[in-house]
Amino acid sequence: MMAAKWFSVQGQKLGFAFFMLLQHFVHVSYSFPEEIERGSLIGNIAKDLGLDASKLPSRKARVDSESNRKRYCDINLITGDLIVAERIDRESLCGEKVSCILIFELILEGPLELHRISLQIQDINDNAPVFTKEEIKIEINELAVKGSRFRVNEAHDTDIGPNAVQNYVIQKNNHLVLEIQSKSDGSKFAELVMYKELDREEQQEFRLLLTALDGGTPQRSGTAVIHVIVLDANDNAPVFSQSVYQTDIPENSPLDTVVLAVTATDADEGLNGEVTYELIRISETGRKTFMLNPTTGEIKLIGPLDFEEESTYEMRIEAKDGYGLTSDSKVIIDITDVNDNPPVINIKSLTKPIPENMSPGTEVGIINVQDRDSEINRQVRCSIQQNVPFKLVPSIKNYYSLVTTGHLDRELVSDYNITITATDEGSPPLSSSKIVQLSVGDVNDNPPVFEEQSYSTYVTENNKPGSTLCSVTARDPDWRQNGTVIYSLLPGEVNGAPVSSYLSVNGDSGVIHAVRSFDYEQFRSFKVQVMARDNGSPPLSSNVTVSVFITDVNDNSPQILYPAPEGSSFMTELVPRAAHGGSLVSKVIAVDADSGQNAWLSYHIVKSTDPGLFTIGVHSGEIRTQRDISESDSMKQNLIVAVKDNGKPSLSATCSMYLLISDNLAEVPELKDMSFDESSSKVTSYLIIALVSVSTFFLTFIIIILGLRFCRRRKPRLLFDGAVTIPSAYLPPNYADVDGTGTLRSTYNYDSYLTTGSRTSDFKFVTSYNDNTLPVDQTLSKSPTDFNDMSFPFFSP
Ligand SMILES: *[C@@H]1O[C@H](CO)[C@@H](O)[C@H](O)[C@H]1NC(C)=O
Ligand SMILES: *[C@@H]1O[C@H](CO)[C@@H](O)[C@H](O)[C@H]1NC(C)=O
Ligand SMILES: *[C@@H]1O[C@H](CO)[C@@H](O)[C@H](O)[C@H]1NC(C)=O
């Protein structure tokens, strides 16, 4: 690559350069010949501008032209090389201009930087000189003296400088030689100089070959034939009133406007003095725009004038008289600008979508405004509509940054259509506007939020595993996975077991299922934590408490603690014969593991030996004599008591109670008959005998102990002997776990006691059966523990 290049920071004026430097504006120039191959290296712009080539792709480096022309050059984002992107033909781009400079901009974002690239296109000798006409007619009066000069229409070479026409050569002849003249603009033209007079009689006309040569290497040439006509009379050539005509005309002027008129006068009389005009050198576009009236010399407009396309036209006009004598003059028509182009708004870059967590003041777009007019007509002001969290900040030259002014929230406004308006300073001003669509991108900034602060659900016990309890719902307004809610149980324990063995939650729907069947008698409520988590990264979550309340079902029948279930013991209450009506004889003690109505027990005597003798307290279970006991009453009395709860349907249990009306345990032998009522097993009778004897022995032991105690206390508080506590083994498991509202308080264990059959003669009944009669601690602390243990075999042989 032979391209010569130079790098410079330019500034026409000091202030201008200084301002631009502040804005990171650096001007880099490259110079290289036209017509070089596409892809050729112009220079490494990254190096020349001191940019980090590796950052070019991320900074969206690109080359842009000021107007929307072809780009001609491009940047290689990997290497930072500036390369040729299009064929560059200097002649079509710049015509006859001495210097052909293409201006481009290198745009970088984040932060916005703009660098000016100027490409100076050097001429190569790719065009040969061309004469306007193949034959140049020259009329020479036969009286013309030696040294007369005749101008020859110049050849034209679209190349410039040394590649333009440098020399003319004429075929050797006897009359004329060629002299090369330079014009003020540097172009060369030739004049024929006569060195030997012509004689019309000798030669009326002759032809000479004229060659124009340019100065390029290799040299190129063009030829034309000079047709010399020798004239007879004393003729004069026309003369233009001005050597150069110049005028201004505003663009968009109406057709048929007379732009200017040229005049040439001829000294000749009559027909020979009549002058006609002809346009001899004019550009193709000029030929379509202007028409010359051949007789009046008026130049009229016949095509549209656009300052932005062509700001000046140059042409040559030839004046010719009746003899065919000619002269020419130059016409320059300058087009003046009219504000006829509205500003054009170009969106150079736009962040899409804009993450909603962008801090205010972030640049989200770059906008460029162009106005093809010139001077004041291209001064543009740019504005943005109100009420949007964006503003335009003027940046370099015609560039503006679109900057956020506040916090964006996609959940409130996800799209903005903002209108940018650009107005120029012309009069009248022109404006245009553009709608920019901005979308706000989601950021996971909202945790899921449960619809309720806490959830509670009620489930009746003995539910089916897998049954639905309730559902929780959390909402997350974020987008897609950032707003997708997943539910899960937080690990925890209920009664020592993991919560997952009680409940499960559907991750997608938030529906909570029971994993197992619940038992109200085991626990009545529990709490679990459910977490709602979104799918963002990092995810956001929130927790909620779900309380599960288990409601009771009457699924437990009353359990009779005393007397012990039938068949497992033979307990007999001793009723003194002297008992009056209303005396407390015994008490049926039952519990129900259910609660409320399901545990509200009622006691009924369903069968008795003597129906009139005993009653039972419906709710207390206390068995009392209904009347005084008489001698005639049977000694053995048998009651069957049913205990029912109040559930629906209600459940019940029954027990038998054996009462012995006697004052003396000596009468006990007859006891066996009582059991014989229902069982004739001999084994049982032996067992009973063994039992009675052991219990007699045991009771004696108790009496001794109690006696000792009474002796110590002197004032016995207890009115009856042989009080024993219900062994705790009689209580259903978990009984003590039931909280305060339960049917049976733990203290009740110790408040209820039973009177076993006793041989003591001083046995007395307590008529007022009161919980407070025997406080817990007294019974327990004063009674040896082995006492309890020893009592056990009596009840469960
Ligand atoms: C923005 O413009 C587009 C297209 O004209 C339209 O579909 C969209 O609804 C507009 N958005 C707003 C927020 O006005
Ligand atoms: C979710 O949020 C993250 C940032 O928290 C963001 O990068 C991502 O693009 C968002 N996802 C969607 C689908 O918008
Ligand atoms: C929810 O509970 C889990 C586990 O205790 C904890 O890691 C998380 O931070 C909690 N989330 C919230 C929002 O409190």
User: DSSP per residue over 376-394, as a string?
Assistant: GGG-EEEEE-SSSSEEEEE
* pLDDT interval class at 10 (50, 70, 90): very low
Does residue 211 have a pLDDT over 60? yes
Ligand nearest to the CA of 477: 2
Return the best residue to mutate from 449, 541, 542, 546 for the ligand 3 pocket (most ligand atoms within 8 A of CB). 541
C-alpha 794/C-alpha 624 separation (Å) is 25
Instruction: Show the tokens assigned to 277.
Output: 């005009």
pLDDT (average), residues 69-95: 87
C-alpha 129/C-alpha 147 separation (Å) is 28
- The per-residue pLDDT for 714 is 47
Pairing assessment for the beta strands 454-460 and 541-551 based on DSSP bridges: parallel
- Select the more confidently predicted residue: 124 or 272: 124
C-alpha 614/C-alpha 382 separation (Å) is 110
Q: What is the pTM of this model?
A: 0.61
Which ligand 3 atom is at minimum distance from the Cα of 531? 1
Nearest CA to ligand 3 atom 2: 543
Return the best residue to mutate from 490, 543, 544, 545 for the ligand 3 pocket (most ligand atoms within 8 A of CB). 543
Does residue 181 have a pLDDT over 90? no
Q: Which residues contact 713 (CB under 8 A, 6 or more apart)?
A: none
Which CATH superfamily does the domain covering 130-231 fall into? Cadherins (2.60.40.60)
Write the CATH number of the domain with boundaries 559-664.
Answer: 2.60.40.60
Give me ligand 2 centre to Cα 172, in Å.
Answer: 88
Which ligand 1 atom is at minimum distance from the Cα of 416? 13
Task: Tell the CATH topology of 239-336.
Answer: Immunoglobulin-like (2.60.40)
Q: What is the pLDDT of residues 95-147, one digit of tens each?
A: 777 788 888 888 887 777 888 889 999 999 999 999 878 888 888 878 888 88
C-alpha 666/C-alpha 388 separation (Å) is 109
Instruction: Show the tokens assigned to 420.
Output: 């940018």
- The per-residue pLDDT for 783 is 35
- The per-residue pLDDT for 110 is 73
Ligand 2 pocket residues where CB is under 6 Å: 441-444, 479-482, 536
Write the CATH number of the domain with boundaries 27-122.
Answer: 2.60.40.60
pLDDT (average), residues 236-246: 88
* pLDDT interval class at 299 (50, 70, 90): very high
Return the best residue to mutate from 351, 352, 408, 444 for the ligand 2 pocket (most ligand atoms within 8 A of CB). 444
C-alpha 11/C-alpha 185 separation (Å) is 27
- The per-residue pLDDT for 656 is 87
Give me ligand 3 centre to Cα 731, in Å.
Answer: 42
Ligand nearest to the CA of 543: 3
- The per-residue pLDDT for 517 is 94
- Select the more confidently predicted residue: 258 or 729: 258
Same CATH topology for 27-122 and 130-231? yes
- Select the more confidently predicted residue: 384 or 200: 384
3-state secondary structure of 746: helix
Edge-to-edge strand ranges of the sheet holding 485-489:
454-460, 541-551, 525-534, 485-489
Nearest CA to ligand 3 atom 4: 490
Taking every pair of Cα atoms in the chain, the longest distance, rounded to a whole number of angstroms, is 198
Ligand nearest to the CA of 355: 2
Provide the 8-state DSSP code for 753.
E
- The per-residue pLDDT for 686 is 57
Residue type, 589: I
pLDDT (average), residues 432-454: 95
Which ligand 3 atom is at minimum distance from the Cα of 543? 1
Contact predicate 7/29, CB 8 Å: yes
Give me ligand 1 centre to Cα 344, in Å.
Answer: 22
* pLDDT interval class at 91 (50, 70, 90): confident
Averaged pLDDT score across all residues of the chain: 80
Domain positions in the chain are 27-122, 130-231, 239-336, 344-440, 449-551, 559-664
- Select the more confidently predicted residue: 1 or 366: 366
Q: What is the pLDDT of residues 28-46, one digit of tens each?
A: 999 999 999 999 999 999 9
- The per-residue pLDDT for 725 is 38
Give me ligand 3 centre to Cα 408, in Å.
Answer: 28
Ligand nearest to the CA of 540: 3
Give me ligand 2 centre to Cα 529, in Å.
Answer: 27
Which ligand 1 atom is at minimum distance from the Cα of 413? 13
Give me ligand 3 centre to Cα 489, in Å.
Answer: 11
Does residue 422 have a pLDDT over 50? yes
* pLDDT interval class at 414 (50, 70, 90): very high
Give me ligand 3 centre to Cα 449, in Å.
Answer: 13
Ligand 3 pocket residues where CB is under 6 Å: 490, 531, 541-543
CA 333 to mean position of chain CA atoms: 60
Nearest CA to ligand 3 atom 11: 542
- Select the more confidently predicted residue: 560 or 783: 560
Return the best residue to mutate from 352, 358, 409, 442 for the ligand 2 pocket (most ligand atoms within 8 A of CB). 442
- The per-residue pLDDT for 66 is 67
Nearest CA to ligand 1 atom 8: 417
Q: Hey, which residues does 208 pair with through a beta bridge?
A: 226
Which ligand 2 atom is at minimum distance from the Cα of 482? 1
Neighbour count for residue 629 (Cβ, 10 Å): 19
Which ligand 2 atom is at minimum distance from the Cα of 443? 2
Q: Which of 207-216, 306-315, 486-495, 534-543 has the lowest mean pLDDT?
A: 306-315
Give me ligand 1 centre to Cα 416, in Å.
Answer: 8
Give me ligand 3 centre to Cα 473, in Å.
Answer: 17
Ligand nearest to the CA of 479: 2
Q: What percentage of the chain has pLDDT greater than the value 70?
A: 78
Does residue 331 have a pLDDT over 80? yes
Q: What is the pLDDT of residues 756-792, one digit of tens each?
A: 333 333 333 333 333 333 333 333 333 333 333 333 3
Which CATH superfamily does the domain covering 344-440 fall into? Cadherins (2.60.40.60)
- The per-residue pLDDT for 349 is 82
- The per-residue pLDDT for 790 is 37
For the chain, the first-to-last Cα distance in angstroms comes to 119
Q: Which of 499-513, 531-545, 700-714 has the lowest mean pLDDT?
A: 700-714
Q: Which residues contact 680 (CB under 8 A, 6 or more apart)?
A: none
Q: What is the pLDDT of residues 704-715, one digit of tens each?
A: 766 666 555 543
- Select the more confidently predicted residue: 545 or 779: 545
- The per-residue pLDDT for 689 is 64
Ligand nearest to the CA of 411: 2
Ranked by mean pLDDT, the top range of 60-64, 284-288, 457-461 is 457-461
Pairing assessment for the beta strands 276-281 and 264-265 based on DSSP bridges: unpaired
Ligand nearest to the CA of 446: 2
* pLDDT interval class at 728 (50, 70, 90): very low
- The per-residue pLDDT for 530 is 96
Give me ligand 1 centre to Cα 413, in Å.
Answer: 12
Does residue 463 have a pLDDT over 60? yes
Q: Which of 275-284, 557-566, 751-760 has the lowest mean pLDDT?
A: 751-760
The residue among 523, 453, 581 whose CA lies nearest residue 739 is 523
pLDDT (average), residues 568-588: 81
Looking at domain 449-551, its CATH class is mainly beta
Does residue 568 have a pLDDT over 60? no
Does residue 298 have a pLDDT over 90? yes
Does residue 157 have a pLDDT over 90? no
Nearest CA to ligand 1 atom 14: 417
Ligand nearest to the CA of 435: 1
Q: Hey, which residues does 511 pair with through a beta bridge?
A: 471
C-alpha 481/C-alpha 484 separation (Å) is 5
Ligand 1 pocket residues where CB is under 6 Å: 415, 417, 437
Backbone angles phi, psi at 642, to 5 degrees: -105, 135
C-alpha 64/C-alpha 404 separation (Å) is 25
Return the best residue to mutate from 445, 479, 534 for the ligand 2 pocket (most ligand atoms within 8 A of CB). 479
Q: What percentage of the chain has pLDDT greater than the value 90?
A: 42
Does residue 670 have a pLDDT over 60? no
H or E segment and range at residue 704 = helix 682-713
